[in-house]
């Protein structure tokens, strides 16, 4: 008996590591499931789906029958197998002697699974799916789809799928968080119902369960409200749209094209119905009290000033907001009544973010209201506004969600907070025992760049690579266990100021939303980025079969350069293990499978643009020529210099950045490899020894919307001893030049001479000239690189 017990104990200990699959233990290449299941026990063997396979569903289980039918149709469309779904009695479905080559749906009563959990048991003869609720079966099927070859997800027939294999395993799974969301802004740019449905399909595959639909904002009202037809007749249309970033041009440039679009109530009902089939809740957002310009254009009487107003044609925060009058509350309650009739969601999002108080401070009515209600200030007036809306929504049996600004002035008692300005708002709300959905910009704002901004589609700005998304833990360690229960989950947000097409929207969502799916589903202990990165290439194949324009920056080789003591630039190309080959060019051509393979850092002895792409046995992995960086080599490269005027603290000089050979990168509102100055630039470069010189070229940044101007004059002088300088050139430059921002490489040629030291003095104009965005403001100079030849 003791021996038998010891053998059983040894057997169980052998099972535990393979079943629990902790974060340090990677899944084998047979199981490329995303999000990673909570528990997976690998097994030898496989289940074969062929023409004899039957999916068995208990009789009278219509929800399960619908899930099984959809799964069978997907397989049949891609493979032509013609597998069938049959209703059988519950006793037959659960009978262990039931025939082989079946996929069984078996409802169970198991509190360990919760409403969304499931068990999936795969042997060579049978696949058994157990769950307590239809959601659990639905998510089990999403896992099963990912255990099959990626081609199964295609809309086209693949003859090679005449039989399909599912690797044997046992999975027990349930989500880490109850709220797993993705947000889409359709106000700045409008997206058709067909795209919304495709997006819901992708959300379902990754086990997201909440779609946050941002329907109204300053740039457009996108939902039909029967009682207020001018919201869509007027508020859904803007006369034109800003070109590029807010500060990209000085003056700003507009496209001159009317832009509009909205969803009818029937279309909204169709989206809500379709989402329900995917077990996705649709959370509508009606912005208030700020971001209301589209509504005020349609109904100016809802503002604090008479107007007229215009639907916003550019981005940003506007001071025209809803005035807290009885007329406004009647309007908003009417709107919300129609919205709640369309959306069965428990949650109604009412915005509450970025509400300037200027109009309220100027309004005699608002000031009287503050006194009458005993409020301290306009922040408390916003809280009073939100609380009133909260009471109305709560009386209808719903709950409000608001951005974390609704904390200002005191939080409405029933509100759920969506924390976007970092995690501080979420922490504060959870400590006040309010429910929280975490969506901090540094991890969850998918409108940020995910690769080199110079080579990426236009994005808002900032950097959010997929590794950073994956690293996020929505539950802050500072919270107590009781407080942590108020963290409902997390959400990825896509704001669309700079995203005008469905293709670009997909590019920004995927694959970063894949990483977020694992963040919100998989237990924290199971997360492992290296294992995730190993599973991701197969997932790219799935997304390709679904015709998703997924970004492939995951495979990109990141370039980095540094100047050498010998005056060259050494360029390294770093790619992850999922990109076994990196190939490059320096002659301006696009890298191909025949281009030189990167083996060691490149030593550039002349200026060149390095382009790189990654390959797997000469098959492209990254988008070709997506990695591209210009490096400058001159007599100044790697040489030390003295700055007689110090740079600003905002963009300081880091390790002789002006002669490191690396050009500036610019994307959104971000700048790198740039040094800025409030005063004149006065730099003396030591070439190390006397040598012939005849030209200087300086890369000045022109960004006049941010008060960075070209210099008004440049003086070049040379010296043999670093003390006595002789002038070789003085030239005027156009400090009043506006237009598109960018680096302007100004050449300064002079009569050939010999010198060791070169002094460059660039004179700051002092104040931004008239005719530019901010005339009279303090001007700056900024430089990325100095070349001497």
Q: Is 60 exceeded by the pLDDT of residue 67?
A: yes
Q: List the one residue out of 418, 467, 462, 417 whose CA is nearest residue 442.
A: 462
3-state secondary structure 472-502: CCCCCCCCCHHHHCCEEEEEEEECCCCCCCH
406-422 average pLDDT score: 87
Query: Which tokens belong to 266?
Result: 């029937």
Handedness of CA 70, 72, 74, 77 (dihedral sign): negative
Predicted TM-score (pTM) of the model is 0.93
Q: What is the pLDDT of residue 92?
A: 53
- DSSP assignments along 100-157, one per residue: SSEEEEEE---TTTTTT-EEEEE-SSEEEEEESSHHHHHHHHHHHHHHS-GGGG-SS-
> Mind listing the pLDDT tens digit for each residue in 670-679?
678 899 999 9
- Map residue 567 onto helix, strand or coil: coil
Q: How confident is the model at residue 2 (pLDDT cuts 50, 70, 90)?
A: very low
pLDDT, residue 16, reads: 33
Q: How far is residue 98's CA from residue 402's CA, in Å, rounded to a whole number?
A: 52
Sequence-distant contacts of 250-259: CB under 8 A, at least 24 apart = 250/704, 250/705, 250/738, 250/739, 250/741, 250/772, 250/773, 251/738, 251/773, 252/314, 254/313, 254/314, 259/190, 259/220
- 81-129 tens-digit pLDDT: 999 999 998 655 555 545 579 999 999 999 999 999 999 999 999 999 9
Supply the pLDDT for residue 691. 97
Residue 5 confidence (pLDDT) above 50: no
- Cα separation, 727 vs 705, whole angstroms: 33
Bridge partner list, 87? 57
Contacts of 444 (CB under 8 A, 6+ apart): 420, 438, 469, 472, 490, 491, 492, 493, 516
Contacts 24+ apart (CB under 8 A), 371-374: none
Check pLDDT > 60 for residue 553. Answer: yes
The pLDDT of residue 17 is: 34
Residue 481 — left, alpha, or beta (φ > 0 → left; ψ -120 to 50 → alpha)?
alpha
Q: Which residue has the tokens 């997976």?
A: 40
* Percent of the chain whose pLDDT exceeds 70: 95
Closest CA to 278 of 63, 110, 539, 119: 63
E strand or H helix that includes residue 6: helix 2-20
Tokens 């030591």 appear where?
A: 686
Q: Is the dihedral of CA 91, 92, 93, 97 positive or negative?
A: positive
How remote is the C-alpha of 636 from its chain's centroid? 40
Buried b / exposed e across 751-785, counting CB within 10 Å, b at 16+? eeeebbbbbbbbbbbeebbeebbeeeeebbbbbbb
Which pLDDT band holds residue 668 (cuts at 50, 70, 90)?
low
Question: What CATH number does the domain located at 641-788 have?
Answer: 2.60.120.1190
pLDDT tens digits for 190-249? 999 999 999 999 999 999 999 999 999 999 999 999 999 999 999 999 999 999 999 999
Please give the pLDDT value at position 22: 42
Banded model confidence at residue 411, pLDDT cuts 50, 70, 90: confident
- Give the CB-side neighbour count of residue 611, counting CA atoms within 13 A: 15
Q: What pairs with residue 47 in β-bridges? A: 166
By three-state DSSP, how is residue 463 classified? strand
Question: Phi first, then psi: what are they for 676, rounded to 5°?
Answer: -115, 155
d(CA 618, CA 621): 9
Residue pLDDT, tens place only, 304-343: 999 999 999 999 999 999 999 999 999 999 999 999 999 9
Q: Rounded to 5 degrees, what angle do the CA atoms 47, 48, 49 make?
A: 120
Residues in a beta bridge with 179: 489
Reported for 393-397, long-range contacts at CB under 8 A and 24+ positions apart, including other chains, are 393/336, 393/340, 393/348, 393/350, 396/336, 396/337, 396/340
Average pLDDT, integer, range 349-360: 96
Distance from the Cα of residue 122 to its chain's centroid: 35
Of the listed ranges 16-30, 262-276, 415-429, 436-450, the one predicted with least confidence: 16-30
Q: What is the pLDDT of residue 408?
A: 83
Q: Which CATH superfamily is domain 2-173 in?
A: Chitobiase/beta-hexosaminidase domain 2-like (3.30.379.10)
Mean pLDDT (the chain, rounded): 93
Of 347, 374, 350, 342, nearest in space to 267 by CA: 342
Backbone angles phi, psi at 111, to 5 degrees: -65, -20
| Alpha helices, DSSP H, located in 648-761 | none
Is cis: bond before 308, omega within 30 of 0? yes
Percentage of the chain lying above the pLDDT 90 cut: 87
Q: What is the DSSP letter of 693?
A: E
pLDDT digits (tens, 9 = 90+) for 683-737: 999 999 999 999 999 999 999 999 999 999 999 999 999 999 999 999 999 999 9
Instruction: Return the bridge partners of 672, or none.
Output: 665
**CB 188 within 8 Å of CB 266:** no
Residue with tokens 């940003």: 316
Quick one: pLDDT at residue 626?
A: 79
CATH architecture classification, 179-515: Alpha-Beta Barrel (3.20)
Residue 162: which pLDDT band, with cuts at 50, 70 and 90? confident
Q: Is the pLDDT of residue 657 over 50?
A: yes
Catalytic, 483? Answer no
Three-state SS letters, 343-373: CCCCEEEEECCCCCCHHHHHCHHHHHHHHHC
Give the largest Cα separation in the chain, rounded. Answer: 101
- Asked if 347 and 416 count as a contact pair (C-beta separation under 8 A), the reply is yes
**Helix 265-277 and helix 193-205: axis angle, to 10°?**
20
- Of 46, 267, 270, 354, which residue is the catalytic one? 354
* The total number of residues written for the chain in this structure: 789
CA dihedral sign, ordered 479, 483, 484, 489: negative
Q: What is the pLDDT of residue 623?
A: 81
pLDDT score of 6: 37
Backbone angles phi, psi at 377, to 5 degrees: -165, -175
Cβ(282)–Cβ(272) below 8 Å: yes
Q: Return d(Cα 122, Cα 103) in angstroms, integer.
A: 9
Q: What is d(CA 300, CA 760) in angstroms, rounded to the nearest whole number?
A: 57
């Amino acid at each position: 008996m003791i021996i038998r017990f010891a053998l059983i104990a040894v057997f169980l200990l052998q099972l535990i590591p393979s079943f629990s699959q902790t974060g340090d233990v990677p899944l084998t290449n047979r199981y490329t499931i995303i999000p990673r299941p909570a528990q997976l026990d690998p097994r030898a063997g496989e289940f074969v789906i062929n023409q004899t396979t039957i999916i068995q569903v208990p009789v009278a289980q219509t929800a399960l029958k619908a899930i099984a039918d959809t799964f069978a149709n997907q397989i049949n469309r891609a493979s032509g197998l013609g597998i069938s779904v049959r209703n059988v009695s519950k006793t037959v479905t659960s009978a262990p002697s039931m025939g082989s080559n079946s996929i069984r749906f078996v409802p169970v009563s198991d509190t360990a699974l919760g409403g969304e959990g499931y068990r999936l048991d795969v042997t060579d003869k049978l696949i058994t799916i157990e769950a307590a609720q239809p959601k659990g079966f639905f998510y089990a099927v999403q896992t099963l789809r990912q255990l099959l070859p990626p081609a199964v997800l295609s809309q086209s027939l693949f003859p090679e799928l005449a039989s399909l294999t599912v690797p044997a395993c046992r999975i027990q799974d349930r989500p880490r968080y109850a709220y797993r969301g993705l947000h889409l802004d359709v106000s700045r740019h409008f997206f058709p119902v067909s795209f919304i449905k495709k997006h819901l399909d992708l959300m379902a595959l990754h086990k997201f369960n909440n779609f946050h639909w941002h329907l109204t904002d300053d740039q457009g009202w996108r939902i039909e409200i029967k009682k207020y037809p001018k919201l869509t007749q007027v508020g859904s249309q803007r006369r034109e749209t800003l070109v590029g970033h807010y500060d990209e041009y000085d003056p700003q440039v507009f496209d001159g094209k009317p832009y509009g679009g909205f969803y009818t109530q029937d279309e909204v009902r169709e989206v809500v119905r379709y989402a329900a089939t995917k077990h996705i809740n649709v959370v509508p957002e009606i912005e208030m009290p700020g971001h209301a310009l589209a509504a005020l254009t349609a109904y100016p009487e809802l503002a604090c000033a008479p107007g007229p107003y215009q639907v916003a044609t550019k981005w940003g925060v506007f001071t025209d907001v809803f005035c807290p009058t009885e007329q406004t509350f009647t309007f908003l309650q009417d709107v919300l009544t129609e919205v709640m009739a369309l959306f069965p969601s428990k949650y109604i999002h009412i915005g509450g973010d970025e509400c300037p108080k200027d109009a309220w401070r100027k309004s005699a009515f608002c000031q009287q209201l503050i006194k009458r209600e005993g409020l301290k200030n306009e922040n408390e007036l916003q809280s009073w506004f939100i609380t009133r809306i909260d009471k109305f929504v709560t009386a209808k049996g719903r709950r409000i969600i608001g951005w974390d600004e609704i904390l200002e002035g005191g939080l409405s008692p029933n509100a759920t907070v969506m924390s976007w300005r970092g995690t501080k708002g979420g922490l504060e709300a959870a400590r006040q025992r309010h429910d929280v959905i975490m969506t901090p910009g540094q991890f969850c704002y998918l409108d940020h760049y995910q690769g080199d901004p110079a080579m990426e589609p236009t994005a808002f700005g900032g950097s959010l690579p997929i590794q950073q998304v994956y690293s996020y833990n929505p539950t802050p360690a500072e919270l107590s266990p009781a407080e942590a229960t108020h963290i409902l989950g997390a959400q990825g947000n896509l704001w669309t100021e700079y995203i005008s097409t469905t293709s670009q929207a997909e590019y920004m969502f995927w694959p970063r939303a894949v990483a977020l799916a694992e963040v919100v589903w998989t237990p924290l202990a199971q997360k492992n980025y290296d294992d995730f990165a190993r599973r991701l290439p197969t997932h790219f194949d799935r997304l390709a079969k679904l015709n998703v324009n997924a970004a492939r920056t995951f495979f990109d080789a990141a370039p980095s350069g540094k100047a050498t003591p010998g005056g060259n630039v050494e360029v390294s190309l770093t790619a992850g293990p999922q990109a076994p080959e990196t190939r490059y060019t320096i002659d301006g051509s696009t890298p191909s499978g025949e281009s030189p393979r990167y083996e060691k850092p490149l030593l550039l002895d002349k200026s060149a643009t390095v382009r790189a792409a990654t390959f797997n046995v000469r098959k492209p992995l990254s988008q070709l020529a997506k990695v591209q960086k210009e490096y400058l080599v001159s007599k100044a490269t790697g040489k030390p210099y003295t700055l007689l005027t110090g740079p600003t603290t905002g963009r300081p000089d880091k390790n002789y950045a002006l002669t490191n050979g690396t050009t500036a990168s610019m994307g959104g509102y971000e700048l790198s490899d740039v040094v800025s100055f409030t005063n004149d630039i006065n730099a003396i470069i030591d070439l190390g020894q006397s040598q012939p010189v005849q030209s200087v070229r300086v890369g000045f940044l022109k960004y006049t919307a941010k008060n960075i101007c070209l210099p008004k004059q440049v003086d070049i002088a040379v010296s043999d001893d670093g003390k006595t300088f002789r002038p070789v050139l003085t030239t005027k430059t156009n400090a009043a030049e506006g237009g598109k921002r960018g680096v302007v490489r100004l050449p300064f040629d002079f009569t050939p001479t010999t010198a060791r030291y070169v002094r460059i003095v660039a004179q700051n104009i002092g104040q931004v000239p008239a005719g530019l965005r901010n005339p009279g403001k303090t001007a700056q100079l900024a430089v990325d690189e100095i070349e001497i030849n």
